[in-house]
Amino acid sequence: MEFSTDGGPIEVLTSIDLEVADGEFVCILGPSGCGKSTLLNIVGGFLAATSGKVLIDGQAVTGPDPRRIFVFQERGVFPWLTVEGNVAFGLFRLDAAERAERIAHYVKLVGLSGFENAYPQELSGGMKQRLEVARALAVNPDVLFLDEPFGALDSITRLVMRSELLRIRRAEKKTILFVTHDIDESVQLADRVVVMSTRPATIRRIVDIEMPHPRDLSSPRYIELRDLLLGEIGLAHKI
């Protein structure tokens, strides 16, 4: 994948070869600016690759698809809609009764019961992020693409949201592709971690995280995997 600038073409991604299984939670980990979000946008159909192709269920990805939903790095809730209105966005094809049932289910699933009539500016950062996840899940996608969704949250809220995401994943059994530069986040969440190199990025290594959930963040195996990933991105002896 290349981008053109005034200084000429810049190669962002090279020789990316990755398969994700149905129902798998895969984290794409790498340093800032390495091309993680670019890769996610290509897989989601928002950017066209300059070479190669993306296949989902054997079909080429040629653009965005309602079966594949993004939760972006910048919060994308609509400030002029209530919690209920945000979750309802995209459900216009359902009849009124089914739409109401779907809204109630996902508002409850993400822990926002009682806030149905609240507007985003009345919610905390973590609640806004729950709302965006609820809106994404409400359209019943096959795949969720999450681009550093917790990056703007404080450390305590991030831990809570990771646990919430895992709880929701157990309930919904969705395939998740999750971009992060947070090593602890990847070890806590993923089935596999795809470690990217610096730009032009390629896949340095894919690490299986075989620990059962919920994961003990102080266990020797957790620390071993975290240190392994630190080594892979060149930080093992720098912190």
**pTM to 2 decimal places:** 0.88
- At 5, the pLDDT band (50, 70, 90 cuts) reads very low
Decide if 234 is inside a domain: no
Give the mean pLDDT of the chain.
88
**In this structure, are 79 and 98 located in the same domain?**
yes
Whether residues 121 and 176 share a domain: the answer is no
Read off the amino acid at residue 206: I
Crossing angle of helices 96-109 and 125-138, in 10° steps, is: 140
* Domain final residue, candidates 89, 111, 140: 140
What are the pLDDT digits (tens) for 51-72?
889 999 899 999 989 889 988 7
The closest of 46, 133, 69 to 38, measured between CA atoms, is: 46
Contact between residue 174 and residue 147 where contact means Cβ atoms under 8 Å apart: no
**Would residue 172 count as lying in a domain?**
yes
Q: Where are the beta strands (DSSP E) in the chain?
A: 2-5, 8-11, 25-29, 55-56, 59-60, 68-71, 143-147, 175-180, 192-196, 203-208
Looking at the structure, tell me whether residues 104 and 51 fall in a common domain. no
Residue 113 domain boundaries: 75-140
| Burial per residue of 136-166, b for 16 or more beta-carbon CB atoms within 10 angstroms, e otherwise | bbbbebebbbbbbbbeebeeebbbbbbebbb
Residue 201, classed as helix, strand or coil, is strand
| Domain assignment present for 232 | no
Instruction: Give the CATH number for residue 17.
Output: 3.40.50.300
In three-state secondary structure terms, 89 is: coil
Residue type for position 97? A
β-pairing verdict for 55-56 and 192-196: unpaired
Identify which has the larger pLDDT, 233 or 221: 221
pLDDT tens figures, 132-160: 999 999 999 999 999 988 887 888 888 88
- Which of 84, 118, 140 represents a domain boundary (last residue)? 140
